[in-house]
Structure 1
Amino acid sequence: MPTINDVAKKAGVSKSTVSRVLNDNFSYMSETTKKNIIEAMNELNYTPNSVAQSLKKKSTQTIGIILSDISNPFWSEVLKGVQSECTRSGYTLMVSSSEENAEVEEENVLTLKNKQVDGLIINTTGENTKLFDNLIKEKYPFVFLDRFTDELKTDTVVVDNISGSKRSMQYLIDQGHTKIGILAYPPENRSPRIDRLKGYKEALEENNIPINEDFIKICDPVRGSGIEATKELLCSSNDKPTAIFSTNTLLNLEILMGVKRVELNVPNDVSVIGYDDYPWVPLLDPPLSTVAQPAYEMGMKAAILIIKRMNRKRQIKPKMVQLEPELIIRDSCKSLEI
C-alpha cells in the first residue's frame, strides 16, 4: 500500500505539504503544487487512513440516524433527503431502527456514540427523556425528527400535524360529513399521533359537531388491527360513520381492506382520507385522498440542522423547523351535499 511518504516523494514535496492537501488546507500553496500532489495520489492509488484522520480531526464525518419503525415506507423518502444532504456535505450516514422500543433506542444511541459518530438524527420513541437530557448537558449534537418532547429543548424538524388533520376533516365536513371516524395508533409520547387526534377533535368542535368517542378507534400497533377496527366501525348496530380519517400510512391500506371485508364500497358507502402520499397511491381503486407530508424535505432539513450544530464552535439556541403538509384530493371521498 502506498504511503504519504511515497506521495511526497513522487510529487517532490514534503510530507507536511501532502498532509495539508489531505486536510483541505491550501493556504500559501500554489495551484501547481496542489495539482502535482493530487496527480501523485491518483497515480499511486493512495487512500488516506480514515481512522488516523478521524483521530486527528476529532471527527469521523459520520452522522447516525435512529428511526422508530424502518418498515414504514414513509421513512425511505425521508432517508433520501438525509442522504442527499449528507453526500453533498461530505458525510457518511449510519442507519438503525428502535422498532418503537425505548430500550433498543437507548442501545442504539449509546452504540452510535461509541462508534464516534459526529451527531445523531433521532425519530424518538418519546420515552427516553433522561437519556436525551444528558446528551443536551454533554453538548452532544442531535436533532429530533418528526417527533418531539416538550420537556427537551433541542433542534427539531416536524410537520404541522394539527394542521394536516384539520384540513382533511374540514374537507370532509364541507362535503356534508358529520359522522367521521378516525383510526390511530396509541398516542402516548408520540407527538404526531397526539397532534393528529387533536386536529380531528378541534375540527369537530370548531364546526359544532359533537365528538362521538365510539368513532375514535385506537389500534394496536400490529398488522391487521386497522382492518378489525374498520369492521367494528362499519358493522356497528348504532350510528355508523359516513367517512373515515386515517392517521398512518399502514392504516390507510388496512382501512381500505376493512371496507372490502364488509362488502362496502369507497366512496359510495364510506369516504376515506389517508395520511402520507406515494407514487402508488393514485393507482389504488379508487385513488386515495391523502395528507401528504414533505418527507424528502424533512430529511434534508434535519441533515442541514445537525451539520450546522456539529460545526458550531459555540452553543446556539435550539431551532424548531415546522413544515406544512398538503391535502391531496382524489376519488375516495363522496359529497353528501344535495
Structure 2
Amino acid sequence: MKKIRIIDVANHASVSKSTVSQYLNGRYGHMSLSTKQKIQDAIKELNYVPNAIARSLKSEKTKTVGVVVRDIAGYNTSHVIRGIDDYCKQNNYNVLIYNSDFDANVEQRALLALQQMCVDGIIITSSGLNSNLINEFMANGMPVIQFQLEYEDCPGHIVVSDYKEAAFQATEHLINLGHQRICFVAQEFSQSYSRQARYQGYLGALNKYGIQVETQSVLHWSREEGFAKNPLTLIADDKGPTAFFSQHLAITTDLLKLFNAENVVIPEDVSLLGFDEIPMVELFKVPVSVIKQDAYQIGYESGKLALEAIQAQHTQLQRIVVPCTLISRASCKNLS
C-alpha cells in the first residue's frame, strides 16, 4: 500500500503543502472555511495519518504529557487521571501514565523514562523523596505539575484540595454533634504541607471551641505497619475518643475492617468520619460520613496547568486550590 504524504493531500485538495502543514498544526485561524473543508475531505478520502514522530522532530514538541501516580487503581487517583486525560484529549495531547506503587525508586525510574521519551511536561503526585530530581527537571526547563502532596523542598506549579478548610469543617461538624474527644488518624505529616494543612484545620476547630488536644488525640498509621496503637485500646479507655477522623481512604478501610472483626458498632460505639469518598458507600449498612475531594477537577486543573506551563503562559508559580465537600451520613452519632 502506498504511503500517503502531505504533498498527496495538498495535491488532492488543490492547495499548497505549507497550507496543509499549517492546518495539521492548528494554525488555521485566517484560513477560509472552504480551504479547511477541502483539506479535511482530502485527509478523509486518502485516509492520511500524520507522522507524529516527524512532526515532533520539527516542532520540538511531542504533544505528550507524562503522569506519575502512586496507585493507578485508587478510587481518587482514577478520577484524577480521567480529569487529566479529558483535558489533554480536548487539546490534542496524549497522556502516558506510570504507576509508582508508593516506591520512590520506581518513581525515579518513571521520571527518567518520561524524560527520555521527550514528553512536553510531567504531572506527578510525588513521594517527596525525589525532590532533587524534580527540581533538576524544572531547572532544565521541563514543566512539572504536582498535585495532592506539597513539599517545602520542591516548590513548583501545584494543584491541591483545600485540606485545611475541609479538615476544619469536618472537625467542627463532629463538635457540633457533641463530640469533644476526636481522634485524628493520619500518616506521618511532618514533611508534607498537604498533610500538615489537615492537622492545622483539625486544631483550628478544636481551638475555636476551647477543646484541649489530648495525648490520645492523634493516632499514626502507615501502609507497612498499620496503626501505631490499637484503636480498640483507645476506645476502651474512659477518656478515649468518641469519634475517629480518618485522613485517608486506606486508613478508613482499615478502621472499618477492625471494627467489623471486633463487633464494634458504628455509630453506637464510636463515630467515624473519613477523608475521601468510599466506593459504593450507598451499599453500606451504615454509610460513612466523608470529606469528598473533587478528584476529577483536580485532574482537569492539573492537565490545564500542564499545558499552560508547556506554552510558557505563567511567569510565576501557580497554586490552584480545589474546594472539598462535607457529606454527612449515618456514621456520626449525635451526642448532644
CA contact (8 A) 2:152 2:193 kept: no
Offset at 1:304?
A: 1.0
The equivalent of 1:246 in structure 2 is 246
Deviation per CA, 1:202-230, whole angstroms, max 9, x where unpaired? 332332222222342211214x8259743
Give runs of aligned pairs for residues 1-338 of structure 1, distance below 5 A.
1-26=3-28, 29-222=31-224, 225=226, 229-234=230-235, 236-237=236-237, 239-278=239-278, 280-312=280-312, 316-337=315-336
Deviation per CA, 1:107-139, whole angstroms, max 9, x where unpaired? 211111111111111111112222222223222
1:328 aligned partner, one-letter code: I
Offset at 1:104?
A: 2.1
Give the distance between the partners of 1:78 and 1:278, measured in 2 at CA: 15
Give the distance between the partners of 1:268 and 1:87, measured in 2 at CA: 48
- Mark the CA change 1:181 to 1:30 in structure 2 (over 3 Å): closer, same or farther: closer
Give the distance between the partners of 1:323 and 1:112, measured in 2 at CA: 27
Offset at 1:158?
A: 0.7
CA contact (8 A) 2:152 2:192 kept: no
CA contact (8 A) 2:273 2:289 kept: yes
1:165 aligned partner, one-letter code: A
CA contact (8 A) 1:143 1:305 kept: yes
Give the distance between the partners of 1:81 and 1:328, measured in 2 at CA: 22
TM (normalized to structure 2)?
Answer: 0.91
What root-mean-square deviation, in Å, do the aligned CA atoms of Structure 1 and Structure 2 show? 2.3
- Mark the CA change 1:19 to 1:231 in structure 2 (over 3 Å): closer, same or farther: same
Offset at 1:305?
A: 0.9
CA contact (8 A) 2:62 2:118 kept: yes
Instruction: Name the stretch that deviates more: 61-70 or 273-282.
Output: 273-282
CA contact (8 A) 2:135 2:154 kept: yes
Give the distance between the partners of 1:254 and 1:228, measured in 2 at CA: 13
Give the distance between the partners of 1:249 and 1:274, measured in 2 at CA: 7
Offset at 1:253?
A: 2.2
Instruction: Name the stretch that deviates more: 297-306 or 278-287.
Output: 278-287
Give the distance between the partners of 1:98 and 1:122, measured in 2 at CA: 10
1:52 aligned partner, one-letter code: A
Deviation per CA, 1:301-326, whole angstroms, max 9, x where unpaired? 1111111111127x511111112211
Give the distance between the partners of 2:14 and 2:322, measured in 1 at CA: 54
Give the distance between the partners of 2:83 and 2:138, measured in 1 at CA: 25
Alignment size in residue pairs: 334
Instruction: Name the stretch that deviates more: 77-86 or 273-282.
Output: 273-282
Offset at 1:188?
A: 4.3
Deviation per CA, 1:222-275, whole angstroms, max 9, x where unpaired? 4x82597433433x4553211111110122222122222222211111111011
Offset at 1:335?
A: 1.2
**For 2:222, what is the secondary structure of its paired residue?**
coil
Give the distance between the partners of 1:124 and 1:28, measured in 2 at CA: 43
- Mark the CA change 1:25 to 1:320 in structure 2 (over 3 Å): closer, same or farther: closer
Give the distance between the partners of 1:324 and 1:40, measured in 2 at CA: 47
Offset at 1:22?
A: 2.2
CA contact (8 A) 2:147 2:159 kept: yes
TM (normalized to structure 1)?
Answer: 0.90
Give the distance between the partners of 1:162 and 1:149, measured in 2 at CA: 15
Q: Which runs of 5+ in 2 are unaligned?
A: none
- Mark the CA change 1:191 to 1:32 in structure 2 (over 3 Å): closer, same or farther: same
Offset at 1:29?
A: 4.9
